[in-house]
């Protein structure tokens, strides 16, 4: 066997006993885009052209646990966002129910281990964007009741109570209601996900949380300077907090050239919007597409993703790393990491770089299981101390009278 085959064989062996838990997969939205709500038309036991995820490839990738993402456009008004979020949640529940021999919903770390032990894929749910709770802690609690185990505080846009990384800040991080959201998530046992939020929001959430935080799909900012990645200073705080940063794969976050290309393409579209304000969004998209067809897109490599993992290890530490692919959530995956069957290739590359099998088990899934358990134990303690929060955004974020 060659060295590379050796590492791959060792990794496959290791994944027999340790669940690989991926932090972020957008299959529910990819299905919605294609089939709307008629997802019974798709058979995930067969490869679906154009998708990065199906059951045979999940199996080939050694996936033992998957956070399925519930995402809606951040630009939707809150009431519409909530309705659409419940529809996305329904899609996840229906996928899991349609393939009981493959998937089972997991509500706890123990569930993940039991389901993995029975040879199935533990299905967890992450809500990607705080706008979906409609600024209501009651709605947040109902999402928890339906299986949501992390919530990303924002998506691409700043919402009423938290600043995003990719939109002008309005709150200096979190508002008072935003802090209350974090506290209520701690009380429920729902992980606070800080991917997509601004560094000020990361800091404010780290100040407020009693549980370990998660970054469900982010890289290291000192490797690739993209606002979606985590600054070193925050990585240091993650070490103290005990949290986990799950390394993202998308080219634009892991390669400077790919990120710059994306920005250049956006700038062409923005310039066209200014020059011809009468253009429709479809015409503008066409302008972007034609620019892209004339300019070949740089694609990241698997080695660049491994560089991010190295950096996360150097600054945050091996106990604080996981994997958060973002498969089916964006275009242009790195060469060699183009679908869910490729997770072992990344772990094999890390092994080649000197990661021990104990290190690899942590990166693959045991770190994530540790913080899930800690969040569950903090929740038990807080629930014994006090009941659900009855505060509202109107009470917390409105200026006091005569203030
Ligand atoms: Zn995302």
Catalytic residue among 22, 26, 104, 184: 26
Quote the pLDDT of residue 400: 57
Residue 399 has pLDDT above 90, yes or no: no
Best CA proximity match to 29, nearest among 153, 129, 114, 106: 129
Catalytic residue among 29, 54, 104, 155: 155
Q: 67 CA to middle of ligand 1, Å?
A: 12
Query: Around Cβ 81, how many Cβ atoms within 10 Å?
Result: 21
At 41-75, the pLDDT tens digits run 999 999 988 999 999 999 999 999 999 999 999 99
Catalytic residue among 163, 184, 193, 217: 217
Q: Give the mean pLDDT of 267-289.
A: 90
Quote the pLDDT of residue 48: 87
Q: 3 CA to middle of ligand 1, Å?
A: 35
Task: Answer yes or no: 180 catalytic.
Answer: no
* Range from 37-41, 189-193, 256-260 that averages highest in pLDDT: 189-193
Q: 130 CA to middle of ligand 1, Å?
A: 12
Residue 280 has pLDDT above 60, yes or no: yes
- 93-102, 222-231, 287-296, range with the lowest pLDDT: 287-296
Task: Answer yes or no: 295 catalytic.
Answer: no
Query: Strands 148-152 and 103-105, how do they pair?
Result: unpaired
Quote the pLDDT of residue 340: 97
Q: 128 CA to middle of ligand 1, Å?
A: 7
Q: Give the mean pLDDT of 119-127.
A: 98
Task: Answer yes or no: 217 catalytic.
Answer: yes
CA distance 223 to 78: 35
Quote the pLDDT of residue 34: 92
Q: All domains of the chain, ordered by start, with CATH?
A: 3-255+299-397 (3.20.20.140)
Q: 223 CA to middle of ligand 1, Å?
A: 19
Residue 401 has pLDDT above 80, yes or no: no
Best CA proximity match to 343, nearest among 318, 321, 317, 324: 324
At 98-108, the pLDDT tens digits run 999 999 999 99
Q: 378 CA to middle of ligand 1, Å?
A: 27
Kindly compute the dihedral angle of the four CA atoms of residues 91, 92, 98, 99, in this order, to the nearest 10 degrees: 150
Q: 144 CA to middle of ligand 1, Å?
A: 20
Q: 277 CA to middle of ligand 1, Å?
A: 29
The rounded percent of the chain whose pLDDT value lies above 70 is 99
Task: Answer yes or no: 308 catalytic.
Answer: no
Task: Answer yes or no: 24 catalytic.
Answer: yes
Task: Answer yes or no: 326 catalytic.
Answer: yes
The string of DSSP letters for 232-251 reads HHHHHHHHHHT-EEEEP--H
Q: 384 CA to middle of ligand 1, Å?
A: 34
Q: 231 CA to middle of ligand 1, Å?
A: 17
Location of structure tokens 């959530």: 329
- 2-6, 150-154, 346-350, range with the lowest pLDDT: 2-6
pTM of structure: 0.95
Quote the pLDDT of residue 403: 43
Task: Answer yes or no: 233 catalytic.
Answer: no
């Amino acid at each position: 066997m060659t060295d590379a085959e050796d590492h791959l064989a060792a990794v496959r062996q290791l994944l027999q006993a340790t669940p690989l838990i991926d932090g972020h997969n957008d299959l529910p939205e990819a299905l919605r885009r294609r089939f709307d709500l008629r997802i019974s038309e798709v058979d995930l036991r067969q490869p679906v052209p154009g998708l990065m995820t199906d059951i045979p490839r999940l199996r080939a990738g050694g996936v033992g646990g998957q956070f399925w993402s519930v995402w809606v456009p951040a630009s939707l008004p809150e009431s519409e966002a909530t309705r659409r979020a419940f529809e996305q949640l329904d899609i996840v529940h229906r996928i899991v129910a349609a393939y009981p021999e493959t998937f089972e919903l997991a509500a706890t770390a123990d569930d993940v281990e039991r389901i993995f032990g029975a040879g199935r894929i533990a299905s967890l749910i992450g809500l990607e964007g705080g706008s979906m709770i409609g600024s209501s802690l009651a709605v947040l609690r109902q999402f928890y009741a339906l299986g949501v185990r992390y919530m990303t505080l924002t998506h691409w846009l700043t919402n009423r109570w938290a600043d995003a990384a990719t939109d002008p800040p309005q709150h200096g991080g979190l508002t008072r209601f935003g802090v209350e959201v974090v506290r209520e998530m701690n009380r429920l046992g729902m992980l606070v996900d800080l991917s997509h939020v601004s560094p000020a929001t990361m800091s404010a959430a780290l100040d407020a949380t009693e549980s370990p935080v998660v970054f469900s799909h982010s890289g290291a900012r000192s490797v690739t300077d993209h606002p979606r990645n985590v600054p070193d200073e925050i990585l240091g705080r993650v070490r103290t907090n005990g949290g986990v940063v799950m390394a993202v794969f998308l080219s634009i976050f892991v390669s400077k050239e790919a990120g710059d290309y994306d920005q250049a393409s956006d700038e062409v579209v923005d310039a066209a919007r200014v020059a011809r304000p009468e253009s429709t969004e479809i015409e503008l998209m066409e302008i972007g597409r034609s620019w892209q067809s004339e300019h070949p897109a740089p694609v990241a490599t698997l080695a660049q993703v491994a560089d991010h993992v190295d950096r996360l290890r150097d600054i945050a530490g091996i106990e604080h790393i996981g994997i958060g692919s973002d498969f089916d959530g964006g275009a242009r995956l790195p060469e060699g990491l183009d679908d869910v069957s490729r997770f072992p290739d990344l772990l094999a590359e890390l092994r080649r770089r000197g990661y021990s099998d104990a290190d690899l088990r942590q990166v693959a899934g045991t770190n994530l299981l540790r913080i899930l358990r800690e969040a569950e134990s903090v929740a038990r303690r807080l629930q014994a101390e006090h009941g659900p929060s009855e505060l509202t955004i109107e009470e917390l974020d409105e200026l006091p009278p005569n203030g």
